[in-house]
Structure 1
Amino acid sequence: MATLPRPGRVEWIGLRTARGQAMREVEQALAEAGKGLAGDRYQGGSGKRGITLIQAEHLPAIAALAGLESVAPALLRRNVVVSGLPLVALKGRRFRLGETLLETTESCDPCSRMEAALGPGGYNAMRGHGGWCARIVEGGRIRLGDALVPVGDAAV
């Protein structure tokens, strides 16, 4: 279970400055240990939700289940879209994302805002595809194209 076929890759990064505001797409973000992403609304919170991740391969599935042609990452309100690695394999593990060290804390379940973002049934279209929340253990920059690589077997 610890072996993965290849590293993942950062495909998209977004920040939400305040509740209800649209996501702002960025090329890089500064992750602050125990806090969150600089400029994101969750910065300075409990740390359990320092960063949110979703798997790129799930975007077409969410779109299909919502009856849409495609879904833009910003609509789903996650900070980072990663491709090439099954995020569920990171459950209970630490991993490097660019310069940062993260650890998964909990699944990132959809909220009722998905009904407005994706249309009626949007919440249910995202169930099981919402991604993960992670704590920032060591801060640093996360950039488009950075690798996501699991490290060790530290349980959360």
Structure 2
Amino acid sequence: MRDGACWRRIAPAPEVLNPASPLARLLDAPLRPGTVRWIGLRPARRAPVQPVMSVALDPAQGALGDRYDGRSGTRHLTLIQAEHLPAIAAYLGLDGLDPARLRRNVVVGGLNLLALKGHRFRLGAAVLEMTGECHPCSRMEEEFGTGGYNAVRGHGGITARVLQGGVVALGDELARL
């Protein structure tokens, strides 16, 4: 049990899920599209995030103008749910929260981003796929003080890879394909 063997037995990998099972049908059930509410770019390491009205996404470079410039291939873009911002703010004892402080690229409202796992999705004119959860880093402690990291835990959003380039603007739709 100490080596995690028990956990591996009770939590099978998602690929093991029977596609005909009721759970698989629920995971693939339709969902309402979301809406882009905020976009930000990180021009350089540790530089303040710059809010923008739109961003061009490229399959090789990711978000043009963002410091990540596609080098990892799995973290072209970071997205966070607008609905999580008030929760994070509450955990920090704040009345509100500027999304730039969380250092994510896109804030989307109206849909649960984790419902995109295993699916491609259209964001504005671009097509992306979720590559993982976007966990907080130690910068959250620097930004928010003691407890910043834990305030963002479980609410950090997702990372995505650009499959088909296009422009994303405020008000654009995010829809699972």
Larger helix percent: 2
**Rounded Cα–Cα distance in structure 2 between residues aligned with 1:63 and 1:52:** 19
Letter of the 2:66 counterpart: D
Taking CA–CA contacts closer than 8 Å with sequence separation of 6 or more, which of the two structures ends up with the larger relative contact order?
Answer: 1
Q: Secondary structure at the match of 1:48?
A: coil
Q: Any residues of structure 2 matched to 1:105-120 within 5 Å, and which?
A: 105-120=131-146
Output one character per residue of 1:130-155: Cα deviation in whole Å (capped at 9) or x when no partner. 0000000000100000000001xxxx
TM-score, reference length from structure 2: 0.83
Q: What is the CA RMSD across the aligned residues, in angstroms?
A: 0.9
Consecutive unaligned residues in structure 1, runs of 5 or more: 152-156
Q: 1:117 to 1:6 in 2, by over 3 A?
A: same
Residue of structure 2 in register with 1:34 after alignment:
60
Please give the TM-score of this superposition, normalised by the length of structure 1. Answer: 0.94
Q: Does 1:24 align with 2:50?
A: yes
1-structure distance, mates of 2:117, 2:144: 27
Equivalent residue for 2:125, pick from 89, 94, 99: 99
Question: What does 1:34-113 correspond to in 2, within 5 Å?
Answer: 34-113=60-139
Letter in 2 for 1:103: E
* Rg larger in structure: 2
The ranges of structure 1 where at least 4 consecutive aligned residues each deviate by more than 3 angstroms after the TM superposition are none
Q: Residue deviations 1:88-142, cap 9 Å, x none? A: 1111211000000000001100000101212210000000000000000000100
* SS of corresponding position for 1:117: helix
Residue number among 32, 57, 81 corresponding to 1:6 in the alignment: 32
How many residue pairs match? The answer is 151
The CA deviation string for residues 41-96 of structure 1, in whole angstroms up to 9 with x for no partner, is 00131220000000000000000111111111000000000000001111121100
* Structure number with higher strand proportion: 1
Provide the rounded CA distance (Å) in 2 between the counterparts of 1:47 and 1:75.
24
